[in-house]
């Protein structure tokens, strides 16, 4: 138990990282979803490449490419900026597919009703299609966020002092690796399990929304 205060300092760092990942990743995910759905072939292709590369590589590989690779091109990011950037890319790619699926799940009749009423396409999208499509994506996005939170543990590999890194250091100092990692796992679970329960609850609420 004497390890807990240090682990909680690490947890604070982890939560900061995930907050930044969400703040950058979600708007980016929305833009990527729009790009992939674009009628413009080139925009759609560029979006698709960004998304497929981001989803195709493990988060750890992306993290190393950002941290060790970008300095080659003159872009030196701090380790925290690297982990936020790498995870935000990975996270936004998965989220963009969830958003795209949500928008495509809106019945075609809704779009046609907007068209038949003479609404501009932008208004039909923003006021009719998007609100319905995005509502159904909320549980999926929350689930993805929980996974991204677990991925913040990868930051220990580039010495960001987050929860996993703190646990690793404590283990090295005390040689009580098992205890420390069990405790660290419980700290992660203390965040993710309630989040999962909330997600399930939100999902039920949404299913009875209308």
Partner 1 sequence: MDTQRNESEDFMLELGAITKSFGKNTILHQVSLRVRKGEVCSIIGPSGAGKSTLLRCINLLEQPDSGNMSLNGNFYDVSFPLRQDELLSLRRTCGMVFQSFNLFPHMTVLQNVVFPQRHVLRRNESEAREVALKLLDRVGLKNKASSHPTQLSGGQQQRVAIARALALEPKLMLFDEPTSALDPELAHEVLDVMRELADSGMTMVVVTHEMNFARTVGDHLVVMADGHKIEEGIPEAIMDHPQQSRTRQFLSAVNH
Give me the residues that bind partner 1 (CB under 8 A), please.
Answer: 107, 109-110, 112-113, 115-120, 123, 127-128, 131-132, 135, 209-210
> CB 20: neighbour CB atoms within 10 A?
17
* 3-state secondary structure at position 41: helix
CA–CA dist 186, 42 (Å, integer): 46
Name the residue nearer to partner 1 (CB basis): 53 or 117: 117
In the complex, the smallest distance separating the C-beta of residue 115 from partner 1, rounded to whole angstroms, is 6
Name the residue nearer to partner 1 (CB basis): 101 or 135: 135
CA neighbor of 174 nearest in space, from 161, 187, 186, 183? 183
CA–CA dist 88, 20 (Å, integer): 8
Name the residue nearer to partner 1 (CB basis): 128 or 170: 128
Q: The dihedral of CA 20, 9, 188, 78: what is its sign?
A: positive
In the complex, the smallest distance separating the C-beta of residue 138 from partner 1, rounded to whole angstroms, is 14
CA–CA dist 166, 11 (Å, integer): 9
In the complex, the smallest distance separating the C-beta of residue 32 from partner 1, rounded to whole angstroms, is 24
Name the residue nearer to partner 1 (CB basis): 73 or 210: 210
In the complex, the smallest distance separating the C-beta of residue 209 from partner 1, rounded to whole angstroms, is 8
Contacts of residue 123, Cβ cutoff 8 Å, sequence gap at least 6: 114
Name the residue nearer to partner 1 (CB basis): 46 or 111: 111
In the complex, the smallest distance separating the C-beta of residue 156 from partner 1, rounded to whole angstroms, is 43
Alpha carbon of residue 27 to chain centroid: 11
């Amino acid at each position: 138990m004497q390890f807990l205060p240090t682990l909680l300092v690490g947890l604070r760092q982890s939560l900061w990282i995930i907050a930044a990942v969400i703040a950058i990743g979600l708007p980016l995910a929305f833009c990527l979803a729009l790009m992939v759905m674009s009628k413009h072939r080139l925009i759609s292709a560029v979006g698709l490449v960004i998304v497929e590369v981001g989803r195709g590589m493990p988060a750890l590989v992306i993290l190393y490419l950002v941290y060790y690779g970008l300095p080659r091109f003159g872009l030196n990011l701090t380790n925290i900026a690297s982990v936020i950037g790498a995870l935000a890319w990975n996270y936004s790619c998965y989220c963009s597919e969830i958003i795209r699926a949500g928008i495509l799940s809106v019945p075609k009749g809704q779009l046609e009703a907007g068209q038949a009423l003479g609404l501009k396409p932008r208004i039909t999208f923003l006021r009719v299609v998007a609100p319905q499509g995005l509502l159904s994506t909320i549980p999926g996005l929350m689930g993805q966020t929980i996974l991204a939170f677990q991925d913040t543990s990868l930051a220990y590999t580039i010495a960001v002092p987050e929860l996993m890194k703190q646990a690793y250091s404590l283990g090295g100092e005390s040689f009580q690796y098992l205890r420390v990692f069990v405790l660290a796992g419980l700290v992660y679970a203390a965040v993710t399990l309630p989040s999962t329960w909330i997600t399930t609850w939100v999902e039920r609420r949404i299913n009875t929304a209308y």
